[in-house]
A and B are shown apart, each in its own frame.
Chain A
Amino acid sequence: MNGHGILLRGGRVIDPSRGHDAVADVYLLEGRVEALGRNIGTPAGAMVVDAAGQVVAPGLIDLHVHLREPGQEDLETVATGAMAAAAGGFSAVCAMPNTDPVCDNQGVVGFVKAQAQRAAKARVYPIGAISLGQQGQQLAEFGELVGAGAVAVSDDGKPVASSHLMRTALEYARTFGIPVADHCEDPTLSAGGVMHEGTVSTRLGLKGIPAAAEEIMVARDILLAELTGGHVHLCHMSTRGSVELIRRAKERGVRVTAEACPHHFTLTHEACEGYDTNAKMNPPLREAADREAIRQGLGDGTIDAIVTDHAPHHYDAKEREFDDAPNGIIGLETSLGLALTELVRTGLLSLPELVARMSTTPARIFKLPGGTLAPGAPADVVVFDPEVEWTVRPEEFHSKSRNTPFGGRRLYGRANVTIVRGQIAFQRPSG
């Protein structure tokens, strides 16, 4: 691979996997972490990156993105998504299976992996479907999916309505040691809903989705994980009730992990005022008390991981009546900045805790390489400035899409260098 190596000099090296948080040099050679320590001399031929004043951490890992390929390459491709990920500080992302065709067979898993290899930016790990065609009927062939490289299974935006199917999936997934990731939504309660059910939906005259639609399925999934001993991973938690259910389940030792998105710890349903379709997503933006509970859940570790739910859409699709616009926003290039601004600057998380939520823990719960700077670990590293103030300019995104409610927002902190497999996948142009 890279015969010369990269020396990251003088940064604040944060590696939650080993409790490391001190100024040090990190030397990467041949795709691995070669050495970590104070004042490593410059090895012959090494490229030196001055990391003074910046954080050096294991590359960020996003467990929940939509890269749209195969099927909707006009919105995003594996290559553009992997580039956007690298620009956001991510060395790896997990791609949801709601492609066309659905990622419910080893052919699609292999295709996504091949496209990712060709792009050679952030790593892309496919997530397989739970059921064939995400139809909620027949179990997909988990064995073949995992054999081809899938790291988890999920029916993604199609909630697993059948408790029997969910039970079967949790049981069967144990064979392969993979988590079953669930989008928690009772479709009979959420049907037709386009935003959170509350005062704002009442005022705007939009059909709401009650918090209970999520919480019922969170409770069900916890009970089924308890029944089966399977590992359930709860996607994009948005309500205070969900956080409380997970907290209690973890106290009981249930194999449950959970993730939350920057928009849910930053915004509330008031962002839908004026029928702003860039504030339309599922699960919807909720109330201030829900946002606070998500923040607290991330603070105490009830919620394990920060994910983006990166969901590219064409501007035409969002330039519509609110009822008809698609759900979702992109997030790869704003996630770190929002987390630093909303969680670290506010004192809710320390920097090591943030790195844990965005790298070390996601790697652990999906059993991915990375999330650590231990010698011999993959040379997946992010160098970020946690303080630099910048303005979100969607027109400068590497993603093919621009659908974000954060355009024009002032944020603090962003990635400057992202290294994947010992290669520089992204380096912010200076000046």
Chain B
Amino acid sequence: MTAALQKDLVGLEYLSAGQIELILDTAEPFKAVSERPIKKVPALRGKTIVNLFFEASTRTRISFEFAEKRLSADTVNVATPGSSVSKGETLVDTARNLEAMRIDMVVIRHGASGAAQFLGQRIRSNVINAGDGKHEHPTQALLDMLTLRDRFGRLDGLRVAICGDVLHSRVARSNIWGLTKLGAEVGVCGPPTLLPRNVQELGVTVLPRIEDAIQWADALNILRLQLERMQAGFIPSLREYNRVFGVSNEKLGRAPKDLIIMHPGPMNRGVEIDSDVADGPHSLILPQVTNGVAVRMAVLYLLAGGRPESAQAAGKGEER
């Protein structure tokens, strides 16, 4: 049990390789739950979970909610517009009030880097980071890794290029930590205006052009380009971005091998990724989404104190 998780899941930077593998392994038995006619097991029956989303999210919020419901937890969704946050309440007050209602876990998405850790240090409930600013989005990286492991059977030695707006991407940071800890090689590729300072010190290879990434990698994880980056002057135009850094079948055609294509969504078709790539035979974009539910079930189960060795039984719906 040396690999047991801490109270919170804030980021993959703070996990050991063993802890990451534990989550991925625990996700395996939970995959099956979603494939059954009755998609529910009692593992978290009686647990109360608050999904605290200070930023708009569709995919991640729904994925967490499915994961919670399929584990039989009681869930409440709090989104910014309807909360007292818009009335000026501080994050710590919001959290303390929720905890005063005796909850067990908080899933938080917040625009400020460090918000999940801040919350975790101030409340007793388990805190799961569903994306904090430009810092980490650990469950997204875990589902990316699970998807790669499903496809390749391993992560060790795999070359994964993370392409696009790495500067503003919490998905990129979590993937960099998780993949490098499990022995994969990570490359980053994007315009220098969208790469963070000294990014190579995180243990990654900088690939200047998308053609370099395509030559180098086994898989591409293509990041969403936020459209406001153009207004902020990071790139001259979406058209030029697509031409220079967009992933097209034409560019992929010059690869020495078939590359696996991933994208954390939501996609800007025709900007960072062309439709025929997104919908093509090597795209794992939808399997990523499917794995997202299993990975989040695993995280919730483990943080709630579920024993890894019982996960198989829990996935079959047996009582703990």
Docked complex Cα distance between A197 and B201 (Å): 13
With A202-B202, A203-B202, A274-B117 known to touch, is A321 a contact of B112 (CB < 8 Å)? Answer: yes
Indicate with 1 or 0, residue by residue over B126-143, a CB within 8 angstroms of chain A CB atoms.
Answer: 000000111110000000
B90 at the interface (CB under 8 A from A): yes
1/0 per residue, CB under 8 A from A, across B247-285: the answer is: 000000000000000000000000000000000000000
CB–CB B197/A202 < 8 A: yes
The B-contacting residues of A in range 180-211, CB under 8 angstroms, are 197-199, 201-208, 210
| Any A CB within 8 A of the CB of B113 | yes
In Å, the complex CA distance between A210 and B198 comes to 12
A198 touches B197 (CB 8 A): yes
Chain A, 317-367, CB within 8 A of any chain B CB: 319-324
The listed residue (B13, B118, B197, B199) touching A321 by CB distance below 8 A is B118
Contact of B91 with A320 in the complex, beta carbons under 8 Å: yes
Q: Say whether B114 faces chain A, with CB atoms less than 8 Å apart.
A: yes
> Is the pair A205, B135 in contact by a Cβ cutoff of 8 Å?
yes
Determine whether B196 belongs to the interface, using a CB cutoff of 8 Å to chain A.
yes
The interface bits of chain B over 6-29 (1 if a CB of A lies within 8 angstroms of the residue's CB, else 0) are 000000010000000000000000
Contact present for B118 and A275 (CB under 8 Å)? yes
Q: Which residue of B lies closest to A206 (CB)?
A: B113
Give min CB distance, B91 to chain A, whole Å.
6
Q: A320-B91, A321-B91 are in contact. Are A204 and B197 (CB under 8 A)?
A: no
**Closest chain B CB from A327 CB (angstroms):** 16
Which residues does chain A contribute within 8 Å of B170, judged by CB atoms?
Answer: 205
Choice from B92, B111, B134 contacting A206 with Cβ under 8 Å = B134
Residues of chain B contacted by A322 (CB below 8 angstroms): 112-114
Q: How far is the CB of B127 from chain A (nearest CB, A)?
A: 14
Chain A residues lying within 8 Å of B134, measured Cβ to Cβ, are 205-207
Q: Which of B111, B113, B115, B198 is packed against the most chain A CB atoms within 10 Å?
A: B113
| Chain A residues with a Cβ closer than 8 Å to the other chain, count | 21
Q: How many A-B residue pairs have CB under 8 A?
A: 65
Task: Find the B residue at minimum CB distance from A191.
Answer: B232
B70 within 8 A of A: no
A199-B91 CB under 8 A given contacts A205-B135, A321-B114, A323-B112:
no
The reply on B159 being an interface residue by CB < 8 A is no
Contact between chains at B113 and A199 (CB < 8 Å) = no
How distant is A194 from chain B, measured CB to nearest CB, in Å?
Answer: 9
A199 & B117 in contact (Cβ 8 Å cutoff)? no
Beta-carbon nearest neighbor of A320 in chain B: B90
- Judged by a CB distance under 8 angstroms, whether B109 is at the interface is no
Chain B's closest residue to A210 (CB) is B197
Task: Collect the chain B residues with CB atoms within 8 Å of residue A208's CB.
Answer: 197
A275 and B199 form a contact (CB under 8 A):
no
Residues of A within 8 A of B118 (CB): 275, 320-321
In the assembled complex, B110 has its CB within 8 A of some CB on chain A:
yes
Can you name the residue of chain B whose Cβ is closest to the Cβ of A192?
B232
Q: What is the bound-complex CA distance between A353 and B50, given in angstroms?
A: 59
Question: Out of A198, A275, A316, A320, which one reaches B113, CB within 8 Å?
Answer: A275
Interface residue B173 (Cβ < 8 Å from any Cβ of A): yes
Q: Which residues from chain B sit less than 8 Å from chain A, CB to CB? A: 13, 90-92, 110-115, 117-118, 132-136, 170, 173, 196-199, 201-202
A residues bordering B, Cβ < 8 Å? 197-199, 201-208, 210, 274-275, 316, 319-324
The 7 A-B pairs of least Cβ separation, nearest first, read: A275-B114, A205-B135, A205-B134, A321-B112, A202-B196, A205-B113, A199-B198
Would you mind naming 17 contact pairs between A and B with Cβ atoms under 8 Å apart? A197-B197, A199-B197, A199-B198, A202-B196, A204-B135, A205-B134, A206-B113, A206-B134, A275-B113, A275-B117, A275-B118, A319-B90, A319-B92, A321-B110, A321-B112, A323-B111, A323-B112
Known: A199-B201, A206-B113. 17 other contacts (CB 8 A): A199-B198, A201-B197, A202-B197, A202-B201, A202-B202, A205-B113, A205-B132, A205-B170, A205-B173, A206-B133, A207-B134, A275-B118, A319-B92, A321-B91, A321-B118, A323-B113, A324-B112
